[in-house]
Amino acid sequence: MSRHQRPRADATAVEADRRRGRRAVTNASGRFESARRDVFDDGWESLGELEPFKTHVRVEIAKSIITTNDSPDISFDQSINPYRGCEHGCIYCYARPSHCFLGYSAGLDFETQLSAKTNAAELLQRELARPSYTPKVIALGTNTDPYQPIEREHQITRSILEVLDRCQHPVGIVTKSALVTRDLDILSRMAAKGLAKVALSVTT
């Protein structure tokens, strides 16, 4: 292909009208699926009947909530992700492939097929109370943004912060959402004791 030749459009790309407001342009099958499925225009104009992608949130009753790691390349030892998938849909997000483990696509599914761990606060309270638990900073939202749009309704992140505040447990948060300011009452109280840090990611 010459430098001046325009690249061909991806034959598997989802029509712009169906993905309005989304970042990914395809929704190919997950890498671990036994069959590959692609939607494409075969000339019969059947794609015009397909609805735009909408956000679907399913309730997930998690079995555990604190994830631990011992990797020397990761700056935290334990983390909590209140949700699976992320409606922000940042195209560069390293977490997209993790959706394939659930049988979803790393493309549009990552932005539209979301899970909310509604029992997160209850599990956290239980796990912190274990005699064997060693307090370390919990990184909140390392695989998905804890303040993505669906947090407005579900308020799982806030319920987690309430538990951490009661237990005087340190937390670190990374988000790109202004919704974090909703929880300033809790965060400022924790920060005054050196228990909370918030980092804002700004897309340029």
Return the bridge partners of 138, or none: 78, 171
Give the pLDDT band (50/70/90) at residue 9: very low
Q: Output 74 or 197, whichever has higher pLDDT.
A: 197
Segment 160-186 shows an average pLDDT of 98
Q: Where are the domains of the chain?
A: 61-88+116-200
Q: Is the pLDDT of residue 193 over 50?
A: yes
Residue-wise pLDDT for 120-156, tens only, equals 999 999 999 999 999 999 999 899 999 999 999 999 9
Least confident piece of the model among 15-24, 134-143, 194-203: 15-24
Position 4 scores a pLDDT of: 46
Give the pLDDT band (50/70/90) at residue 6: very low
Position 1 scores a pLDDT of: 43
Which one, of 132, 138, 152, 136, lies nearest residue 55 by Cα? 152
Cα separation, 28 vs 101, whole angstroms? 14
Residue-wise pLDDT for 31-70, tens only, equals 666 666 666 666 666 655 667 778 999 999 999 999 999 8
Q: Is the pLDDT of residue 170 over 70?
A: yes
DSSP assignment letter at 83: E
Give the pLDDT band (50/70/90) at residue 5: very low
Cα separation, 119 vs 126, whole angstroms? 11
| % of residues, the chain, pLDDT over 90 | 58
Position 18 scores a pLDDT of: 65
Q: Output 94 or 158, whichever has higher pLDDT.
A: 158
- Residue 17 phi, psi (nearest 5): -65, -30
Q: State the residue for tokens 């935290």.
A: 76
- Listed as own residue / partner, the contacts of 159-163 with beta carbons closer than 8 Å and 24 or more positions apart are 159/120, 159/121, 160/80, 160/82, 160/120, 160/121, 160/124, 161/186, 161/187, 161/190, 162/121, 162/186, 163/121, 163/124, 163/125, 163/128
Position 26 scores a pLDDT of: 67
Segment 97-101 shows an average pLDDT of 89
